[in-house]
Structures are given as C-alpha cells and as structure tokens.
Amino acid sequence: MSADQERHSLVNQEGSRAERNEEAFQNIVEKTGSHVANGFNVVIDSGLTEKRVSILDKLAQERGVSIYKFYLEAPYDVLFERVKLRDANQGRETDEARFKEVFQIIASKDFGGYEIIKTDNVALENIVEKIITSLAQSSNSSHRRL
C-alpha cells in the first residue's frame, strides 16, 4: 500500500496535505489490520514518523505478526532526478524547495532497526531480490509479515 496513492484516492481532497496524509495513513492501518487478519502479508510505502512506526508496531503485536522495516537509500542528486522524471511523466513541475525540505527531514531520521538498502546504482529487480532474501533469512516462511 502506498501513502501517496491512498492520499490521492481520498474522497475529500480538502484540508492541508498533513491532514490528508494523516487520513491516508489511518486508512492504511485499517486496511493492513484487515489484510493481516485474513492471512495476507502487507507492504507499506509510506513516510514513517516515530508515531506511525509505533502504531504499526502495536498493530503487528496485536495481530501476532512480525514487522520488517527497510529504508531504500540514495544520494540527493539520484533521488531528485527520479522525482523529476516521475513528475515529468505525470505532467507536472518538480518543486525543488519541497523536495529539499523532505530530503532533509528524511536525512535527519534515525533508521536504527531498519535494514538499509543502497539503491543509487541498483536495478529495481535487484532491490526486490535483496528484500525477499532478507525476509527469507529473517523469518520462517509460515510467519505472517507486516
């Protein structure tokens, strides 16, 4: 599940971006709980604050599932080029000031407890393979994961 996709799918697009992000994340938590209860593994693509990590950790504990956290890392210039390409494909201009602000917020986070995967010169397929391999090594395949 993607926080961006969830935010864009909200019926009510009024309110600040922060308010819509909060609503989108709450929807992700509800869907995650339902999917896990039905025996599915879940992957969440979202900016994780300490509060959000705490919510997901609590959900995983309540549901008796394991949670694995990955941070996909790349230098500023590589990420900025990726964002510009994505924005161009969606017919919009990139807000470099906003990108820089978000990059600095992320750079200041503590990723202790996360597996960090450098992605600047790695094909998407190889990144996915690294994650799958890590999960396979970290848990019994019969474990449900969040």
Query: What span, in angstroms and rounded, lies between the C-alpha atoms of 88 and 112?
Result: 34
pTM attached to this predicted model: 0.78
Q: Given the structure tokens 């009024």, which residue do they identify? A: 14
Report yes or no: 68 and 138 within 8 Å, Cβ to Cβ: yes
**pLDDT score, position 136:** 85
Per-residue pLDDT, averaged over 41-46, amounts to 84
Q: For the segment 59-99, what is each residue's pLDDT rounded down to a tens digit?
A: 999 998 888 889 999 999 999 999 999 999 999 999 999 99
> What are the structural domains, with CATH classification, of the chain?
1-64 (no CATH), 66-146 (3.40.50.300)
**pLDDT score, position 140:** 52
- The percent of residues in the chain predicted with pLDDT above 90, rounded, is 49
CB burial readout 116-145, b (16+ within 10 A) else e: ebebeeeeeeeeeebbeeebeeeeeeeebb
Which one is predicted more confidently, 100 or 40? 100
Q: For the segment 50-63, what is each residue's pLDDT rounded down to a tens digit?
A: 888 899 999 999 99
pLDDT band at 2 (very low <50, low <70, confident <90, very high): confident
